[in-house]
A and B are shown apart, each in its own frame.
Chain A
Amino acid sequence: MEWPDITSILPEVILAVAALLVLLVEPFLKKDKTAVIALALIGLLASAVVAVALGGNSRAAFSGTIVLNSYALFFKVLFALAAFISILMSPRYLEASKRHLGEYYALILLAVIGMDVMAAARDFIAFYVGLELMAMCSYILAGFFRYRIRSNEAALKYFVTGVFASAFTLFGISLVFGFTGTTNYEIISSNLGSTGNATGVAFATALVVAGLGFKVSMAPFHMWTPDVYQGAPTTVAAFFSVGPKAAGFSAILIIFTTVFESSSEFWSVLFMVLSVLTMFVGSVMAIVQSNMKRMLAYSSITHVGYLLAGLAALGRGLDTKAGESIILYLAAYTVMNLGAFGILTYLKTQQPEGFDYSLKSFAGLGRRSPWAAILLTLFLFSLTGIPGTAGFIGKFYLFTSVVRGDLVWLAVLGVLFSAISAYYYLRLMIYMFFREPETELTVKEPIEGTLAAAVALSAAGVLFLGLFPQWIWDHALKAFSNLFG
């Protein structure tokens, strides 16, 4: 019997081994979970390093269903980074919440495997397996605080709506299979256009848009997002806000530029409409939130709206560099959003009882813990898109690509919605620096331990991408030039 070549899934194998080791070691540990945390972090680091080492030449395995090329590599490193930062910010928070269990880390690692597969799959079956692996881990993570009603609610809502969305995706995939008789992207791509059933193809496209749109919380499939972010542990929400979104976009980019290439005119228009809707819903709802976790949930929806504008440009078939811009935006979004959630985590860790994520509880933060306030300001600046930060670079490239796609009106709308976003981001700063707290909170502990490392890493990422964007842009160019490899 011939063994399959596993070199191209070696990063995932490493993650799986790390996850299993975490589960194995966990029962032998008492209170101190350092060993499993270290295992998880080393696993992530090793998988990223191996991916970089192997990513130099493109390779495919399992009859071309999984590839390892610069595109998959980009996302693998991004997912590993997102998980790495999320894990770094977790221990103290979980301890403060009295639910510090080793399987938490194993679940994150397993979710990363799912995301990796989504970005590396070149076949619907492999893709779907990755999607479900990621989704299952997410459902459990959302309900990780299983003694809390909110956390349970989040898990259940996520699960029910998620299954519903998966059904759409599967329906779409089965239609495509019906038209072409294969699940391989490349073969579908060359055959689907010639089926002569444009309506059917559009139908399938719409179903896959709906299914994947759920994962990236695109309106009107976004409704789970605020409830889940609010109910789930904050560190999990942080991970959800970047990991699955980026994974969803990694799959959308590859599926829509290959499988549904023939219906690109249709999905370009569809994404235009959904982009406007998503930006609109995200900003309207973000403004009225008083809970900052929910605000960040809606703000993340607005960011998805910007990304969808990029997708609309991508479908125009012009030299827009929209795909590259989306990749770059995802990287920028990952570091800045994780950073913002990191500060929320810090505040919650400081005061498990007193801090309720409400706008009011941020009053006077600038004096109480200046570092947290300054760093949160940096992340909010970046989310707003102030020059010098990653967010500015992301928006600049993204909206430029939208303009290049002859969608000036959409770019203008995007910029307008960014201007609106300044309102709900800057409002938080006003509370931090210019409002007196109603009840004087005495906590003054500085950010420390792994949480400090997580926040510092995010801040460094925000500044690095903001000041030296050429590096990431070069990598984005390289990644997108090599979809099949």
Chain B
Amino acid sequence: MGYIWLIPALPLAAFLITILFGKWFIKDSAHWLPILAMAGAFGLSVAALIQSWGAEEPYVLNLWQWFTSGDFQIPLALQLDQLSAVMCTTVTGVGLLIFIYSKGYMHGDPGYYRFFAYMSLFAFSMLMLVLAENYLLLYFGWEAVGLCSYYLIGFYYHKPSAAAAGKKAFLTNRVGDFGFGLGVMLIWTLVGTLSYSGVFDAVGAGEVSDSALVAIALLLFVGAMGKSAQFPLHVWLPDAMEGPTPVSALIHAATMVTAGVYMVARSSVIFASARPALIVVGIIGTFTAIYAASIGIAQNDIKRVLAYSTVSQLGYMFMALGVGAWVAAVFHLVTHAFFKALLFLGSGSVIHAMSGEQDMRRMGALRGKIKTTYWTFLMGALALSGIFPFAGFWSKDEILGMQFKGGGYIIWIVGLIAAFITAFYTFRAVFMTFWGNDRTDPEVGKHIHESPKSMIIPLGILAVLSVIAGLVIGLPPEGGLLHRFLEPVFQHANEILGVEHHGFGALDVVLMIVSVLVALSGIALAYLFYIRRPDELPQKAGKKAGWLYKGIANKWYMDEIYNVAIITPLVEGSRVIYKWFDVAVIDGLVNLAGRIWGGFGKMARPFQTGRVENYALIMFLAVVVIVAVVVL
């Protein structure tokens, strides 16, 4: 399997060539190379996936040792095990489809080559992240995907809101990354190595104290919260929708935001040995799931609905991780990648048809006009709502089922309510966009057209995957293909946790029926609200539950809270500090240092007279001084 280095290397090569020659030479054919590179990486990932079947130990490929100094080593080593194989295949597969889609979507954009270059760089970084063999390289990939995300959110950098969104994402992620970085450093200090196998062996052998493990796990999780947009570090993700839609699909739905989930799953041994941290993970995840879902109800921008839904679904994944349901989390990660990418690309197709309109209040009755987009979008919506037998149903139900069977009834109920809300806001979006009255601007209405083939084909493939993926890899629940495949990866963590394996039984069927009913009632309510009586019910509900609606519509005032609690004090505080401390003390000191330094310079300058006899004199005096010191 020595070829796995090619998986990240191909997109990297595509990036380098595109960024160097794109502007002058490649121009409008900039999509070819990245698409081919992605296709190659996908092919190799599938090969790796097949080859890693049943392997007991991860395959490690040492590429090179950057440098060594004593114990300190910086190795560039890749690791392929079942988990990284699944991640690679998902990233490259969904990535390939999105690259193809982008060919149509970004057509004619002045930054065409730049877009494909950054997307390739992102693919490289993400693949390095999942193929890393140690925390240092993981950290590298982690920072690199963050950087690409920043570039791509701010892709339309001349738009102030896009530039601001990029900045917000970057700064919020800094908070998380800071925690992550501390966690990695703590591992290094306590264990003395950063390679996965070394760290996990040490943890398994009980070399690290429990409290230290909890600290490590919590710090790592802070990083995951930033990257995977968990409450309260989720605020950047909805704003990130300022980027082009394929970016939202690939980076802010299917792959990068799942890095946190991947990292926690990768560190399952650490988290399993740190129970308190695991509980925190579960609680944060559960809260985020319902919290973000509730906000999704009141969003009118089609992409923002999906953004909050992403935050909420990521919450489900952490909810699963919180009870050690590692495989269920990965399962949901994979199916979510399919149907959320589909929904984003579908929304992109809608936006494309509507000449850039994103507000659902100015859409409606589109299902007859853009049929393929409608049908594929509907598949995605059904999968997201968790309707049998779509992909999302199997993965979400497995997560909820494991909560119930593990005795976490409260979490189960919260998750169920979130599922109800999910179905509601998803179909609210479907109905507002595709059904009901035509509220489009007549000017826009004239130009409505179905998207080109390069956009429709990826939609079709993703729609098929959203329908069947769950059936293929997740059946029967808790014992499906994916479970058997990933077993060696999580064996150790499961032994530590003592997770019981539940057989498939009548209870599962009951739970399934309950969750399908919940989802259906969510859809029904949406139908009632937005199709049957769209003119009175939403307003009525808004009035009846005034505070609730207000809270939801204002995203629970999270941005405002940040403003009041963090940003304003920070800015005001900085102003005070600036005035009294910076100007007076620091500037004073710096100026003093500068003056001292300048003074030194002035003192030294007269010696540099340019007169050669002075130079000789100084040399002579220096020797005299040295000799004098020796002799005396």
A, B bound: yes
Is B615 close to A, CB under 8 A?
Answer: yes
Q: Which B residues are in CB contact (< 8 Å) with A157?
A: 612, 615
In the complex, are the beta carbons of A161 and B66 less than 8 A apart? no
Known: A203-B631, A284-B604, A287-B601. A227 touches B616 (CB 8 A): no
Partner of B64, one of A209, A220, A226, A468: A468
Bound state CA distance, A400 and B67, in angstroms?
Answer: 13
Task: From B205-213, B246-254, B492-500, B621-629, give the one contacting chain A.
Answer: B621-629
Tell me how far the C-beta of B354 lies from the nearest C-beta in chain A, rounded to whole angstroms. Answer: 39
Which of B623, B627, B631 has most chain A Cβ within 10 Å?
A: B623
In the complex, are the beta carbons of A203 and B627 less than 8 A apart? yes
Of residues 396 through 429 on chain A, the ones whose CB sits less than 8 Å from some CB of chain B are: 396-397, 400
Bound state CA distance, A473 and B67, in angstroms?
Answer: 9
Known: A203-B631, A210-B619, A270-B626. A160 touches B612 (CB 8 A): yes
Is A127 close to B, CB under 8 A?
Answer: no
Is B547 close to A, CB under 8 A?
Answer: no
Q: Which B residues are in CB contact (< 8 Å) with A224?
A: 612, 615
Which of A199, A203, A220 has most chain B Cβ within 10 Å?
A: A220
Known: A156-B612, A393-B67. A214 touches B619 (CB 8 A): yes
Q: Which B residues are in CB contact (< 8 Å) with A397?
A: 67, 69
Q: Which A residues are in CB contact (< 8 Å) with B616?
A: 160-161, 164
Q: Which B residues are in CB contact (< 8 Å) with A288?
A: 598, 601, 605
In the complex, are the beta carbons of B619 and A220 less than 8 A apart? yes
Known: A161-B612, A164-B616. A400 touches B604 (CB 8 A): no
Tell me how far the C-beta of B591 lies from the nearest C-beta in chain A, rounded to whole angstroms. Answer: 14
Q: Which B residues are in CB contact (< 8 Å) with A210?
A: 619, 622-623, 626
Residue of B nearest to A206 (CB): B626
The count of chain B contact residues (Cβ–Cβ below 8 Å) is 29
In the complex, are the beta carbons of B610 and A470 less than 8 A apart? no
Interface size class, chain A: 35 or more
Q: Which B residues are in CB contact (< 8 Å) with A156?
A: 612
Is B65 close to A, CB under 8 A?
Answer: yes
Is B607 close to A, CB under 8 A?
Answer: yes
In the complex, are the beta carbons of A396 and B67 less than 8 A apart? yes
Q: Which A residues are in CB contact (< 8 Å) with B68?
A: 470
Of residues 332 through 349 on chain B, the ones whose CB sits less than 8 Å from some CB of chain A are: none
Bound state CA distance, A156 and B611, in angstroms?
Answer: 11
Bound state CA distance, A270 and B630, in angstroms?
Answer: 10
Partner of A220, one of B67, B597, B622: B622
Bound state CA distance, A179 and B619, in angstroms?
Answer: 25
Tell me how far the C-beta of B350 lies from the nearest C-beta in chain A, rounded to whole angstroms. Answer: 40
Is A202 close to B, CB under 8 A?
Answer: yes
Of residues 218 through 250 on chain A, the ones whose CB sits less than 8 Å from some CB of chain B are: 220-221, 223-224, 226-227
Is A467 close to B, CB under 8 A?
Answer: yes
Known: A210-B622, A288-B598. A203 touches B630 (CB 8 A): yes
Known: A203-B631, A206-B626, A210-B626. A284 touches B597 (CB 8 A): yes
Is B618 close to A, CB under 8 A?
Answer: yes
Q: Which B residues are in CB contact (< 8 Å) with A226?
A: 608
Q: Which B residues are in CB contact (< 8 Å) with A467?
A: 66
Q: Could you jot down 22 A-B contacts, CB within 8 Å?
A: A161-B616, A164-B619, A168-B623, A199-B630, A202-B630, A203-B627, A203-B630, A203-B631, A206-B626, A206-B630, A210-B619, A223-B607, A223-B618, A284-B600, A284-B604, A285-B601, A288-B598, A393-B67, A467-B66, A469-B67, A470-B67, A470-B68
Chain A residues within CB distance 8 Å of chain B: 156-157, 160-161, 164-165, 168, 199, 202-203, 206-207, 209-210, 214, 220-221, 223-224, 226-227, 266, 270, 280-281, 284-285, 287-288, 393, 396-397, 400, 467-470, 473
State the 5 A-B residue pairs at the shortest beta-carbon distance, nearest first. Answer: A223-B615, A202-B630, A288-B601, A206-B626, A220-B622
